[in-house]
Chains A and B, each alone.
Chain A
Amino acid sequence: MRVLVIEDDRETAHFLQRSLRESGHNADVAGDGETGLAMARDGGYEVLIVDRMLPLRDGLSIVQTLRAEGTRTPVLILSALGEVDDRVKGLRAGGDDYLTKPYQYTELLARIEALARRPAPEQQETRYAVGDLVLDRLSHKVVRAGEPIVLQPREFRLLEYLMKHAGQVVTRTMLLENVWDYHFDPQTNVIDVHISRLRSKIDKSFAKPLLHTVRGAGYMIRDGSD
């Protein structure tokens, strides 16, 4: 995956470049807003990571310009400003996701991978399947190995999100943001408890577990034979 990092702090930029390469991605770095916009226009990138505060041209303006020109490349906005209104501004400018500094690298990686593989809205499937687990988005039915599984509405949405990103790491924050629409950090690890409930319903009575914990990062649903 080709990633463009537009970030003026050299150390942060190089840390990201190195880490992304270690994760098997090809990362370029732009040190200011104008260079970043030019490189993003030349294209070929699957994801843009854009810092909000940049010399020459700020991050939101880059995203707005790209969107106005019709570029649909997914954008993750990085910012030290993380309050309610800042996030809304970032997403309104055309950003696809918003991550507040300081962040965990695993969180950033999970998010850009989710962004890069996100299907266009019109291509969204009505049915997800991982191994012998099938989720039907229209009838709201979940079946594993032919056996129906009864889920609460929130559990259904949790599983739906996980299956939409099957094979990708999904962090707790991503779940909290996308399943519950909360952008704050609950003191207790509430997500873990919800996951363990879901797990007891979809994995407990089956030999092969599908819902895996990725240590230090989050969760992933995948067919073990992948």
Chain B
Amino acid sequence: MTALTRLLLSTPFRLALIYMGAFILAAGVTVGFIAWRANELLTTSVVETLRAEVVGLREQYQAGGPARLSAIIAERAADPGSSLYLLIDSAGQRAAGNLRQVPPELMDGEQRGVFTYVPQSGPTQGKPRVAVGVQIDVPGGLTLVVGRDIEDLRRFAWTMGRLGLWSVIILSALGIGGGLLVSRSVLRRIESVNETTRSIMSGDLSRRIPLNGSGDELDRLAESLNAMLARIEELMRALREVSDNIAHDLKTPLNRLRNRAEAALRSSAGPAVYRDGLMKTIEEADELIKTFNSLLLIARLEGGAVAESMERLNPASIIADVAELYEPVADEAGLTLSVSAEPGLALTANRELVSQAVANLVDNAIKYSPNGRLHGANGAEVAAPVSIVLKRVDGAIEIAVGDRGPGVAPQDRQRALQRFVRLEKSRSRPGSGLGLSLVAAVARLHGGSIRLEDNGPGLRAVLNLPIGGPNPALAAAGHGREH
């Protein structure tokens, strides 16, 4: 498609064209109507004058007979001007007047109307001119024709008509030209949007649509498109980061699994080695499956797919159950697990997911707590505590799980919540690096959040969940604190 056809097909141009067409049509109809009415009026008024004159002439005839009529007509016909006369006597001969013969146009039944004649004198002698006239029979066998030259009027009207036509033509040309100009500028801006989208489609996600700063609707459209592009770019970047992380964190165990199988196969030590190799392969595969399951679960949660399975529950019993599940593990690791819960709280949430989130936090806290005993202020050994605290904060409940481990540096805290991120210090410890991001996904699904804080010393992970669940309407329905 050439630039011209694109311009001609553009919406603004088509709109301009349609507008111009309508304008020309309206102007044409108006001008035509005016011209028609003007012509009609002119002709009618001329005919009226003629009729009055005929009445006058007939009176003259009745007063003075044919001779007087003939004389008057001869006198009037001699006056220069637009009046035309012809008197034919009973013998059919021309008796007086400045017309040579009865115009054939007046010979029909009506005996009045427009006719052409050729003047015999005056400046326009010999050229045919237009006139209006009436033919009447005068008693005594005479025929009288009275007319008025309307050639000048006609010419004037014609000139006016041409003037009107020309103004319409000039106006249309200006309109179409203006339409072209407007469409070209609109088209150029839309073309810049097109160009941007094309280069984005070909992979350059950083491109943005240029604004012209006028703040008009095209600029506003470009602004929201740019905002959308920024969001898409952010999502794409996150996606790429995740797939890079998946590639890294899944490839490593896959490679380990493969190496193990290969080593066992290569060995000639016999069935015991094969068996051991297969067992370890299955263990590795199980770990991989767990990682995949966590990833899928996080993806599902981020899609918000389980929102309908929310129920009203008691958060204190959730943390009590999780604490009860982990208490022997903590005990075995030489840690005390303390629970403190504000009584009488209620929460709309998915029990399974919130339990899993709290379990992940407790599991982490146990994993990162220092082994064995700490020395208290007075030198006595005290158990390193893992604490679970439940309390109400405004319209939400907060479950804080704290440990006395190494903690996370403030600048690393945000990163620690991302998928697969295991801070370097913890790389050697078991885990997929998905625990905290699963907690974050559960929090988001419930309309809450997770934050990491300094536990002075150690780390405190705080899970914040709105009491009414992700849907604020539920909270408004009077599910506040239950006494």
List A residues at the B interface (Cβ < 8 Å). Answer: 82-85, 88, 100, 102, 104, 154, 180, 182-188, 190, 193-194, 196-197, 216
Contact = CB atoms under 8 A, between A and B. Distances in A.
A78 to B, nearest CB: 15
Given A83-B300, A186-B359, A193-B332, 18 more contacts: A84-B306, A84-B352, A84-B353, A85-B309, A104-B286, A182-B325, A182-B355, A182-B356, A182-B359, A184-B356, A186-B325, A187-B363, A188-B329, A190-B325, A193-B328, A193-B329, A194-B328, A216-B279
B321 A185 contact: no
A188 B363 contact: yes
Contacts of B332: 193
Contacts of B289: 102
Contact of A190 (B279, B293, B328, B360): B328
A187 B435 contact: yes
Nearest to A88: B309
B324 interface: yes
B329 A190 contact: yes
B431 A182 contact: no
29 contacts: A82-B293, A83-B297, A83-B300, A83-B306, A84-B352, A85-B306, A85-B309, A180-B321, A182-B352, A182-B356, A182-B359, A184-B352, A184-B355, A184-B356, A184-B359, A185-B290, A185-B293, A186-B326, A186-B363, A187-B367, A188-B329, A188-B363, A190-B325, A190-B326, A190-B329, A193-B332, A194-B325, A196-B328, A216-B279
Contacts of B308: 85
A174 B354 CA distance: 20
B366 interface: yes
Contacts of B305: 83, 85
B350 interface: yes
Interface of B: 279, 286, 289-290, 293, 296-297, 300, 305-306, 308-309, 321, 324-326, 328-329, 332, 350, 352-353, 355-356, 359-360, 363, 366-367, 430-431, 435
Contacts of B325: 180, 182, 186, 190, 194
A187 B286 CA distance: 12
A180 B366 CA distance: 20
A190 B330 CA distance: 10
Shortest 7 CB-CB distances between A and B: which pairs?
A: A193-B328, A184-B356, A187-B363, A193-B329, A84-B352, A84-B306, A190-B329
B309 A84 contact: yes
Contacts of B352: 84, 182-184
Given A83-B297, A83-B300, A187 B328 contact: no
B254 to A, nearest CB: 15
A89 to B, nearest CB: 10
Contacts of A188: 326, 329, 363, 366-367
A216 B297 CA distance: 26
Most buried by B among A82, A100, A193, A197: A193
A100 B296 CA distance: 13
Contacts of A84: 306, 309, 350, 352-353
A85 B290 CA distance: 19
Contacts of B297: 83
B111 to A, nearest CB: 99
A161 B145 CA distance: 132
Contacts of B431: 187
B296 to A, nearest CB: 8
Nearest to A184: B356
Contacts of A85: 305-306, 308-309
Nearest to A191: B325
Nearest to A100: B293
B328 A197 contact: yes
Contacts of B286: 104
Contacts of A185: 290, 293
A183 B356 CA distance: 9
Contacts of B296: 83
B363 to A, nearest CB: 5
A88 B356 CA distance: 17
Contacts of A186: 325-326, 359, 363
B233 to A, nearest CB: 30
A174 to B, nearest CB: 15
B360 A187 contact: yes
A149 to B, nearest CB: 17
Contacts of A183: 352
Contacts of A190: 325-326, 328-329
Contacts of B321: 180
Contacts of A182: 325, 352, 355-356, 359
Contacts of B360: 187
Nearest to A193: B328
Nearest to B289: A102
A83 to B, nearest CB: 5
Contacts of B300: 83
Most buried by A among B305, B329, B350: B329
A183 B352 CA distance: 7
Contacts of B355: 182, 184
Contacts of A100: 293
Most buried by B among A82, A84, A185, A196: A84
Contact of A154 (B293, B324, B359, B366): B324
A84 B290 CA distance: 16
A202 B6 CA distance: 88
A83 B300 CA distance: 8
A74 to B, nearest CB: 24
A8 to B, nearest CB: 21
A100 B367 CA distance: 28
A186 B366 CA distance: 13
B404 to A, nearest CB: 18
Contacts of A88: 309
A171 to B, nearest CB: 13
Nearest to A186: B359
A136 to B, nearest CB: 23
A155 to B, nearest CB: 10
A100 B305 CA distance: 18
Nearest to B283: A216
A82 B385 CA distance: 35
A91 to B, nearest CB: 13
A5 to B, nearest CB: 21
A191 to B, nearest CB: 9
A194 B327 CA distance: 9
